[in-house]
Amino acid sequence: MKPIQQIWPEPFAERYRAAGYWRGETFPAMLRRQSEERPDAVAIVDGARRWTYRDLHRRAEAHAAGFLKLGLAPGERVLVQLGNVAEFFSAVFGLFRARLVPVYSLPAHRLTEVVHLARRSEAAAYIACDDYDAFDYRALGRELKAEVPGLRNVIIAGDPQEHLPLDGCVAEAAGLPADPEPSSVAFLQISGGSTGLPKLIPRTHDDYIYSCRASNEICGVSDRSVYLVALPAAHNFPMSSPGHFGALHAGARVVLAASANPETAFALIERERVTITGLVPPLALLWMKAAERKTHDLSSLDVLLVGGAKFLPEAARRVRPTLGCTLQQVFGMAEGLVNYTRLGDPDEIVINTQGRPISPDDDVRVVDDDGNSVADGTPGHLLARGPYTIRAYHDDPAANDRSFTPDGYYRTGDVVRRLPGGYIEVLGRAGDHINRAGEKISAEEVEDHLLAHPDVFDAALVSIPDPSLGERSCAFVIAQKEGMKPSTLKAWMRQRGIAAFKVPDQIVFVDRFATTAAGKVSRKELRAQLRDDFLTSSRENPA
């Protein structure tokens, strides 16, 4: 088994400890502390289920012992693909307590993604819901086990069929190992990434808890807060910005929404007196529109965080008038760096910028193509290093070479402008990925799938501006045969076992791709050119 680690050079680690960012806290210790300080406070609300901090702690301890009894050994990795259900928390805190390492997968992932994550992390077990959002994860678990021989156990929340029931993975908590080291990796988070399949991001207890704790301060989260998890719980944004882990760190209440649609979410806001939540821009637009009908009492909502993709100023301006709460823009990434507009910031800042970094020790640089710093106000590539930004992905030397500078900065891939006060405006990105409503899609990965079709000669995937999604994906395809239809190719993509958000929104068949005089064109240039041609021609022919 390859070791999992995340190492900052010692002088940096020393400074982060001395400055009080890394305090030696761990996730198991955090939950134990809450269960002692506020045993009867409600920690998790999932439909009619309400778990107090004591309940959550007891369940996590019992699972920790149960997982070890199954034969899972401390240090082993466990792929977790649970929806927004209470079991996400008992299972993940159980894994932390047993020194097992959760690897997060999103509910939208299908066989291709889970096989990749399980192989790359060398996962020994898989934990999923029986059925979630009309998809049967038991069948997925069956296929996964067949594909990845090292994966020994499939554990299911709900009706397990032939698999192991999560409910049954419990044992007497006596004899559990000591808490993990604060500097050890707590879990593998995943990156949407711009090339290929998701990359694995090792985050330590120290660094991640710091980002949650500091986010709480910036977003005003206290033990009186109620945080609604509207986005998928495994995503870095609702997990840490300030997210459900931030909320639990503060002793607040976490309310789980099975769907982020306004009908479901508004009813929960009213019932649970939700004070804070986070959304991607297309959902924020939907909520603002739905709120005009005033069907529910949203008066408890203090703060709405919007991020994951650019929230346009015109939309940002409408948050307070429609939803009656304060907007915080958040620009973050699973690799670390998170920026927020602050609660007291003037409207101009909140509406027009994506915020400024959490930490005084977030070292951000904006550079030109040659790596030289550019003046404030000038667009450039954003680089970051700091007390909660990783220095390396897990087991991916090629990505590490591309994504980190020799002196340890993470190349975010984002093109930004730095404004007075250190605020950042996101202008776009350098890499070829599509940011579809906050879901990052790698052009390369989808092109690879398209090329696997026997009648596809070549394919290029590009992003097209979209009024509701922000961006949608458009595949330009050269077919080998006449008469192929976009709907047939889409249907074929859908059954390839990939997350549905990766299926191109639009497919345009073309006869050939233009090449330069030398007969060569990089895929990057090709995509840019196809996109520009498409946008120009659709302006000329608005039909």
Residue 240 engages ligand DBH in binding (rule: CB under 6 A): yes
Of 44 and 185, nearer to ligand AMP (C-beta) is 185
Tell whether residue 332 is a contact of ligand AMP (CB under 6 A): yes
Minimum gap (Å) between residue 391 Cβ and ligand AMP:
15
302 or 439: CB nearest ligand AMP = 439
Q: Are strands 424-429 and 410-418 parallel, antiparallel or unpaired?
A: antiparallel
Q: Does 413 bind ligand DBH (CB under 6 A)?
A: no
Among 192, 242, 246, 408, contact with ligand AMP (rule: CB under 6 A): 192
424-429: strand order across its sheet: 363-367, 380-385, 410-418, 424-429
Residue 414 touches which of ligand DBH, ligand AMP, none (Cβ within 5-8 Å per kind): ligand AMP
SS3 for 373? strand
Q: Which of 6, 34, 121, 191 binds ligand AMP (CB under 6 A)?
A: 191
The smaller minimum CB distance to ligand DBH, of residues 116 and 440, is found at: 440
- Coil, helix or strand at residue 435: strand
CB of 327 to ligand DBH, least distance (A): 14
3-state secondary structure 282-312: HHHHHHHHHHCCCCCCCCCCCEEEEECCCCC
**Rounded Cα–Cα distance for residues 495 and 111 (Å):** 10
The 10 Å CB-count burial string (b at 16+, else e) for 488-508 is ebeebbeeeebbebbbbbebe
- Residue showing tokens 């996730």: 27
Cα 390 vs. chain centroid, distance in angstroms?
15
Minimal distance, residue 106 CB to ligand AMP, in Å: 11
Tokens of 361: 């020790």
What is the x/- site pattern for ligand DBH, positions 311-350, by CB under 6 A? Answer: -------------------x-xxx---x------------
What is the closest distance, in whole angstroms, from the C-beta atom of residue 333 to ligand DBH in the complex? 5
Half-sphere exposure of 527 (CA within 13 A, CB side): 22
Single out the residue of 183, 275, 354, 473 in contact with ligand AMP (rule: CB under 6 A).
354
Of 428, 436, 424, 277, give the one whose Cα is nearest residue 352: 424
- Contact between 426 and ligand AMP by CB under 6 A: the answer reads yes
Using Cβ positions, the residue closest to ligand DBH within the complex turns out to be 332
Residues in touch with ligand DBH (CB under 6 A):
236-237, 240-241, 307-308, 330, 332-334, 338, 438
Residues in touch with ligand AMP (CB under 6 A):
191-192, 236, 307-310, 329-335, 354, 412-414, 426, 429, 435, 440
